Every structure is written in C-alpha cells, then in structure tokens.
Amino acid sequence: MGETVKVESPNPRAAATGVAEQLDGRRLERVEAIGKNLVLSFEGGLVLRSHLRMSGRWTVREPGSVAHGRPWLVLRGSGREAVLWGGPVLELNKRAVRRLGPDILARPPDFNRMVSNIRRIDQSRELGDALLDQRLVAGIGNLWKAEALWGAGVSPWRRLANTTDEEIRAVLDEAARLMRRSVDSGREQRSIYRKAGRPCPRCRGAVRSRGQGDANRTAYWCPSCQPGERGVRLPGS
Ligand SMILES: [Zn+2]
C-alpha cells in the first residue's frame, strides 16, 4: 500500500475487462477485506472489488518471480507484487464499497443495519436467498447460510414477510457466531451442509436439499427443525 503500481492482466478474459489499463500507474491507497471481498482503493477514487468464490487466490511475492499460467491481475510495486489467480469476480467502480452490506465478521457485527437492509428489499423474497445477497450483509456464503438457518431453527424458504425481525436477527447472530468460531479455530464444523439424506443431528430426520434463488445455489434444511413455506413437501406433491 502507498505505492504507485504497475498493473497487468495476462489472462485474456481479465484483459477484456479493461481493469488493468484503468489502474496502471495509480497509487494503491488501501486494501480491506469485507466479508469474502477484497477491496482495493486506488488514487482518484477507483475501487477494485475482487471476490474469490471457490477457486480464486491472491498471492504476494517477489517481483519477477517465475510464474506459470496466466494470472488475472498483477499489481507490481517496487519490492513486492500481488498476483490474482482465477478471480471470477473483478469489478471496478467508485461505489463498490458502498454497495456491500455490513461485514458479518466485524467486531461487533452491525446487526441493526443488516436487518434494516433486509427489510428494505422485496418482502416476498425468501430469507435463505436474502442472506446470500452481499449488498444486504457481506460475507455469508452458502455453507454458513445453511448452518446458521439450521442453528436458529428457521427455514430458508420462509418469505421475509412471514419472518420476524427477531428471527432474522437470530439467524444473523448464529452466522456471526459460527463464522467467528471457524475463523478463530481454523476448523469448519458442519451440521447439515452437504448432508442431504443424512440424519439431522438434532431430530434424526432426513436433511433435505434444493436449489434456491436466481443462482440456484443448493439450500440444505431439516423440515422438522426448520418448518415453514415449502419446507415440508406434502405426500404426492
Ligand atoms: Zn432436525
């Protein structure tokens, strides 16, 4: 940070975004982790948001180290270079930071603002879908969404209109607690994520799974511990 950086995009898909040309020769002012987003602020008010999804990776190394492959982005300072491999989400604008909701891993997390963000959107949306919307709350991924909803006993299929502030808050609180514990311990304890068909650790009923939201990401839930809309499929339906 604080240096003027040379910026290149060796990967053709990344080069097509034009991000490197716009950042090249600017001073890197600040780097922040907001949830799973890495947000790099450059002089002139340009903000680069990078989200690694499952496969991306940032590394910092000596300049000119032998590199294989075509990284998405290389930021070169005088003594170090930062290299982004396989970063599927690369967004450059002046509003990236403001567009993200409060960080679930902040100490303490701003639960009031998260709840009010969630209340501002279309209340016919499902809670499980809203939890993954990074503009409302930043940092909750598919795994912790499933675990937090199960922990709080709230169905991912509940429409926001039928969910109380207290229930939303309980889910957010559980997400923050589980994620903080995972970060601090370096371990991931899963109760139901990717355990479809296996017994729920609480009631021994079968864990269910189904795609949710526009991105059709798989939701996991226990219909008896997390009752609610579409949570229990009627016989023959
Ligand atoms: Zn259960």
What is the whole-number distance in angstroms between the Cα of residue 216 and the centre of ligand 1? 23
What is the whole-number distance in angstroms between the Cα of residue 155 and the centre of ligand 1? 11
What is the whole-number distance in angstroms between the Cα of residue 97 and the centre of ligand 1? 38
pLDDT of residue 34: 78
pLDDT of residue 70: 86
Q: How confident is the model at residue 237 (pLDDT cuts 50, 70, 90)?
A: very low
What is the whole-number distance in angstroms between the Cα of residue 153 and the centre of ligand 1? 9
What is the whole-number distance in angstroms between the Cα of residue 227 and the centre of ligand 1? 10
With beta carbons less than 8 A apart as the criterion, state whether 226 and 139 touch: no
Tens digit of each residue's pLDDT (9 = 90 or more) over 199-218? 999 999 999 999 998 888 99
What is the whole-number distance in angstroms between the Cα of residue 193 and the centre of ligand 1? 13
What is the whole-number distance in angstroms between the Cα of residue 126 and the centre of ligand 1? 20
Tens digit of each residue's pLDDT (9 = 90 or more) over 53-92? 777 888 898 887 766 788 888 999 988 999 988 876 777 7
- For the four alpha carbons of 133, 138, 144 and 150, in that order, the dihedral sign comes to negative
Q: Give, rounded to a whole angstrom, the gap between the first and last alpha carbons of the chain.
A: 58
